[in-house]
Amino acid sequence: MAVTGPDIKEIRALREQLTEETAVTPVVRCAAIEGIIGGGTQVIAKMEFLQRTGTFKARGALATLHSLNSDQLKQGVTAVSAGNHAIAVAYAARALGTSAKVVMVSSANPSRIESCRAFGGEVVLVDNVHEAFAVAERIQHEEGRYFVHPFEGSSIALGTGTVGLEICEQVDDFDALIIPIGGGGLISGIANAVKQLRPDCEIIGVEPEGADSMHRSREAGEPRAIEQVTTIADSLGAPFAMPYSFELTQDNVDKLALVSDDDLRRTMGFLFRAMRLAVEPACVASTAALLGPLRDELRGKRIVLVMCGSNIDWDTFERQAIFDDGID
């Protein structure tokens, strides 16, 4: 299925529309990472974990709700999430004066559940991601709520495309851009935008070994599902790829890399030790890939890392991170 991503003019227009509802997140040089890679490598982090709601998800949720008509908004919205998308949909619903009823897995971090409720979201808890989609579908049909997909569709790519636009405006030149992958909503939107502005940039996606649906889909040449998600990076734990985000990824992403949960744990500890960042596993995936499988091939280049989320409580962070990380 051939798809066309949002045009850069559309992405610029949305960014202007969302000026009051989203932040332009900063970019920061990462001397600690540069020192480890060596060889004159330059590393710049796009600190999207400082976005409102703590992740990039607010951009796609707002883009989707702004695309609805008044009758659809009156009915309210629903969504499925491990936490971050639920928070973003609740935030977007409140911003546009409607209601959100979101389905979350019971294993979701309690702080994320409370954050969703704090934005006015009604939370329904279920046992697993597959059940969550079924329950959300029932809510959609029984209550007439609009389903805001966590990673699929043109409005999601339009929203996440604003991250790519900002990167190109904030960083003069860069050779490579490394982006975490869950379902593909973040990377498909960013890559679509960046390739329009910096076509020669190498774009690399990173998945956890225990949630590699995009790897399997690319190998098969079509969207594929995985039987079970087994990773601490629950924000990257999409159980399947879907056509639109898959095709945009196929068209615009140059290669993929895998990282283990141990890679993520060590990188969480390293970023806390070196930069005093206490962020969730998904947020460190791009850094873990650069410090691991991509280190040698990207040494000496100018690299942008997308750091995507900070919704984690200290107890969970302390339990997951390896502070004696051994990264050097």
pLDDT in tens, 101-121: 999 988 888 889 999 999 999
Check residue 55 and give its pLDDT. 94
Tokens of 130: 């597959």
Domain assignment of residue 2, yes or no: no
Of the candidates 142, 18, 189, the one whose C-alpha atom is nearest the C-alpha of residue 91 is: 18
* 129/178 same-domain check: no
CATH number at residue 181: 3.40.50.1100
- Buried b or exposed e, range 90-107, using 16+ CB within 10 angstroms: bbbbebeebbbbbbbbee
pLDDT(1) > 70: no
Domain assignment of residue 269, yes or no: yes
Average pLDDT over residues 122-134: 88
* 104/164 same-domain check: no
Domain assignment of residue 325, yes or no: no
- Reported as type and span, the H/E element at residue 216 is helix 213-220
Domain assignment of residue 3, yes or no: no
Report how far Cα 225 is from the mean position of its chain's Cα atoms. 18
Burial class (CB in 10 A: 0-12, 13-18, 19+), 189: buried
pTM for this one?
A: 0.94
Confidence of residue 241 (pLDDT cuts 50, 70, 90): very high
pLDDT in tens, 38-81: 999 999 999 999 999 999 999 999 999 999 999 999 999 999 88
- Cα distances (angstroms) measured from residue 8 to each of 11, 56, 132, 287, 316: 5, 18, 34, 27, 39
Domain count across the chain? 2
Of the candidates 216, 205, 157, the one whose C-alpha atom is nearest the C-alpha of residue 8 is: 157
Domain assignment of residue 328, yes or no: no
Share of the chain above pLDDT 70, in %: 99
pLDDT(325) > 70: no
Other residues' Cβ atoms within 10 Å of the Cβ of residue 56: 29
Residues whose CB is less than 8 angstroms from the CB of residue 106 and which lie 6 or more positions away in sequence, other chains included: 125, 126, 127
pLDDT in tens, 300-309: 999 999 999 9
Check residue 218 and give its pLDDT. 95
* 100/240 same-domain check: no
* 201/95 same-domain check: no
Q: Are 182 and 237 in contact (CB under 8 A)?
A: yes
Q: What domain range includes position 226? A: 8-55+153-320
Rounded Cα gap, residues 197 and 115, in angstroms: 35
Tokens of 116: 């969703």
Domain assignment of residue 326, yes or no: no
Domain assignment of residue 1, yes or no: no
* 220/253 same-domain check: yes
* 274/187 same-domain check: yes
pLDDT in tens, 243-291: 999 999 999 999 999 999 999 999 999 999 999 999 999 999 999 999 9
Tokens of 70: 């008044």
- Look at residues 118, 147, 176 and tell me which one is the last residue of a structural domain: 147
Check residue 145 and give its pLDDT. 97
* 226/283 same-domain check: yes
- Look at residues 126, 147, 168 and tell me which one is the last residue of a structural domain: 147
pLDDT in tens, 152-183: 999 999 999 999 999 999 999 999 999 999 99
* 256/121 same-domain check: no
Average pLDDT over residues 293-299: 97
pLDDT in tens, 191-237: 999 999 999 999 999 999 999 999 999 999 999 999 888 999 988 98
Confidence of residue 130 (pLDDT cuts 50, 70, 90): confident
Check residue 294 and give its pLDDT. 98
CA distance between the termini of the chain = 44
* 194/288 same-domain check: yes
- Look at residues 147, 176, 210 and tell me which one is the last residue of a structural domain: 147
* 187/61 same-domain check: no
Q: Report, in angstroms and rounded to the nearest whole number, the Rg of the chain calculated over CA atoms.
A: 18
* 216/231 same-domain check: yes
* 101/23 same-domain check: no
Domain assignment of residue 215, yes or no: yes
Check residue 128 and give its pLDDT. 82
